């Protein structure tokens, strides 16, 4: 029932596309959490991440972030830097608290 808007884009958003309707991803630092990704039926945020879409400067920014789950961030960075993993798409499910 509440409507709100964030005032600044999440960090590492070099294009400024995610300024509105998102939360900063402080769990593992990859991709902001978009409100439209919430699935009410399973009480989860559902998103897809394509590691190939990230530039080296964006990956460096993600690497430097303070996050609650650095092991997940590091797993993502390993996948993103592995040429064998080219073309992978990661499914992310997050429970809202």
pLDDT in the model for residue 32? 79
N-terminal to C-terminal alpha carbon distance within the chain: 17
Q: What is the pTM of this model?
A: 0.75
- Listed in sequence order, the residues at least 6 apart from 80 whose beta carbon sits closer than 8 Å to its beta carbon are 51, 52, 54, 59
Residues of the chain with pLDDT under 50: none
For residue 17, what pLDDT is reported? Answer: 58
| Unique residue bearing structure tokens 């005032």 | 7
Residue 34: predicted pLDDT: 79
Strand partners, 91: 48
User: Residue 91: exposed, middle, or buried by beta-carbon count in 10 A (0-12, 13-18, 19+)?
Assistant: exposed
How many residues are present in the chain?
97
């Amino acid at each position: 029932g509440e409507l709100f808007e964030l005032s600044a884009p999440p960090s590492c958003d070099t294009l400024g596309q995610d300024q509105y309707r998102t939360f900063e991803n402080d769990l593992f630092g990859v991709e902001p959490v978009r409100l439209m990704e919430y699935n009410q039926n399973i009480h989860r945020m559902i998103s897809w991440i394509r590691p190939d879409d990230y530039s080296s400067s964006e990956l460096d920014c993600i690497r430097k972030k303070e996050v609650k789950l650095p092991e997940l961030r590091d797993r993502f960075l390993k996948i993103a830097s592995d040429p064998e993993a080219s073309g992978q798409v990661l499914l992310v499910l997050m429970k809202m608290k």
